[in-house]
């Protein structure tokens, strides 16, 4: 018997998107080996936090078709049309110190970029973690953690990928895009979590071995959209310069007009290209 969920998916995309079809395409050692799926949830990050407190293992992946309380960076609300995106969160239980956790956002950005590239797209990253196609954002990432006795109890990385979205609100048209808009074809969403998890598992293990991006820096810079490009740093006193890559800690190196180089932390300021979203 075809469930309401499966029937809906076949009408919309010609493919079924559920716990089974997603899990069948994840071939990793630990990242995404346990999959939870909901038609509707408050947010996958909140769901993973609850699962973490119940003792869920590292690598647990939660996905939802619709989020009633989805959030983006700086606490902005975030919603997308049902049946169009991949919205997921992974549970991590790092052994490293809390100060290294924010860099996980860059690690996941690289994983999403690799997954999107494998689907045939020319992809880049707008520092620190916006995955970009055709100078427009195709993915949002939000990293959070719980700390106990000064140690990381759990970390959660939430990911939202624009897959089969056919149009955006007018105010987002010049900033956001989707795999559908860039290719003119719909994608089977079930394959995408597995592609991301495979890349993330490898990148995460490299990062965790050193607690920095020294083993990933070269690859990250090779797809950095801001690299050697003019940028405006939106600090308390904004300034302009040229992006010269990243540090091992993930800060953006910006060469100011006077020749000095500043390491910019993602948690402190925003960076915008002078001539486009990137």
DSSP 45-56: HHHHHHHHHTTP
Each residue of 14-64: pLDDT tens digit? 478 999 999 999 999 999 999 999 999 999 999 999 999 999 999 999 999
Question: Does residue 70 surpass a pLDDT of 90?
Answer: no
Tokens representing 194? 């597995």
**147-193 pLDDT per residue, tens:** 999 999 999 999 999 999 999 999 889 999 999 999 999 999 999 99
Q: What is the mean pLDDT of the chain?
A: 89
**Over pLDDT 70: what percentage of the chain?**
87
Encode pLDDT of 219-258 as tens digits. 999 999 999 999 988 888 888 899 999 999 999 999 999 9
Q: Going by C-beta distance under 8 Å and a sequence separation of 6 or more, which residues neighbour residue 192?
A: 86, 115, 119, 161, 163
- Is pTM, for the whole model, over 0.75? yes
Instruction: Read off the tokens for 275.
Output: 């001539």
Between CA 236 and CA 269 the distance in angstroms is 8
- Specify the pLDDT at position 4: 38
**Displacement of CA 91 from its chain's centroid (Å):** 14
């Amino acid at each position: 018997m075809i469930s309401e969920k499966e029937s809906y998916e076949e009408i919309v995309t010609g493919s079924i998107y559920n716990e089974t079809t997603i899990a069948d395409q994840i071939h990793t050692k630990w990242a995404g080996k346990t999959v939870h799926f909901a038609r509707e949830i408050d947010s996958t990050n909140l769901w993973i936090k609850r699962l973490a407190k119940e003792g869920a293992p590292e690598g647990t992946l939660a996905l939802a078709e619709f989020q009633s309380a989805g959030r983006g960076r700086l606490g902005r609300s975030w919603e997308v049309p049902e049946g169009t995106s991949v919205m997921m969160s992974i549970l991590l239980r790092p052994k490293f110190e809390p100060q290294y956790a924010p860099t996980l956002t860059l690690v996941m950005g690289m994983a999403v970029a690799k997954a999107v590239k494998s689907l045939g797209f020319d992809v880049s990253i707008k520092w620190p973690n916006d995955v970009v196609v055709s100078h427009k954002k195709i993915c949002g990432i939000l990293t959070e953690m719980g700390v106990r006795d000064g140690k990381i109890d759990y970390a959660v990385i939430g990911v939202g990928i624009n897959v089969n979205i056919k149009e955006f609100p007018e105010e987002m048209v010049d900033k956001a895009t989707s795999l559908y808009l860039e290719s003119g074809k719909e994608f089977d969403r079930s394959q995408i979590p597995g592609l991301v998890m495979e890349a993330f598992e490898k990148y995460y293990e490299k990062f965790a071995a050193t607690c920095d991006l020294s083993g990933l820096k070269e690859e990250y810079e090779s797809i950095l959209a801001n690299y050697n490009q003019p940028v405006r740093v939106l600090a308390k006193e904004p300034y302009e310069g040229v992006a010269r890559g990243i540090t091992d800690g993930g800060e953006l190196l910006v060469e100011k007009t006077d020749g000095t180089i500043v390491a910019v932390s993602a948690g402190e300021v925003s960076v915008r290209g002078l001539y486009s979203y990137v």
